[in-house]
Chains A and B, each alone.
Chain A
Amino acid sequence: GENVEQHPSTLSVQEGDSAVIKCTYSDSASNYFPWYKQELGKGPQLIIDIRSNVGEKKDQRIAVTLNKTAKHFSLHITETQPEDSAVYFCAASTSPGGYQKVTFGTGTKLQVIP
């Protein structure tokens, strides 16, 4: 099955600096890569996603890049703010047997220091 690795597990940055989280996946059939932000005691919220036919996608301060050949994708947050502090999960998705199965990375706890 799919295996998604995520690094780093924790990340501390100064407010205003950039944060980068990296993930690798194993199944070349994966074609959809969402990123989720999870605040304490809450469910994950989708913040950005990218499909395998696109190499980069940007939404204001958040961007995601995908390298299909190397099977890795990254989340970039620029001009970080304290409210960006949360746990971030990458995920990879395939559609085996006609339904979509999402495999999550292990999570990165981001702390933005004011």
Chain B
Amino acid sequence: GAVVSQHPSRVICKSGTSVKIECRSLDFQATTMFWYRQFPKKSLMLMATSNEGSKATYEQGVEKDKFLINHASLTLSTLTVTSAHPEDSSFYICSARDLGSEQFFGPGTRLTVL
């Protein structure tokens, strides 16, 4: 199947700093990328959907100014957590989709905000 990578896999930062997470589709062009957040022992919560070259569509309750999403190319999307606080600590997972229905998930990024 198609491969999606995320970088970094783990990040620890101080409260108030910003963190950027990259999501790349390695062997296909992703027309749509999705960003999820997962709390321990919980399901995946969709944060936003982004299409290449257009603004992301955020789910209700997700602050677009706090979670900045950029989908500059068909193989790269970035999620920037701005002014991170301890409550932003979570497992962030991206997925990418080509023209088919199947989403391919990245390995996730563990964010810890001290």
Contact = CB atoms under 8 A, between A and B. Distances in A.
Contacts of B97: 100
A49 B108 contact: no
A101 B49 contact: yes
B51 interface: yes
Interface stretch (B39-47, B63-71, B73-81, B82-90): B39-47
A104 B44 contact: yes
A106 to B, nearest CB: 5
Interface size classification for chain B? 20 to 34
Chain B interface SS verdict (over half)? strand
A105 B42 CA distance: 10
A44 B44 contact: yes
B7 interface: no
A89 B105 contact: no
Given A104-B44, A107-B42, A42 B107 contact: yes
Nearest to B101: A32
Interface of A: 32, 34, 36, 41-46, 49, 51, 89, 93, 99-107, 109
11 contacts: A41-B110, A42-B108, A46-B1, A46-B105, A49-B102, A100-B103, A105-B43, A106-B42, A107-B41, A107-B42, A109-B41
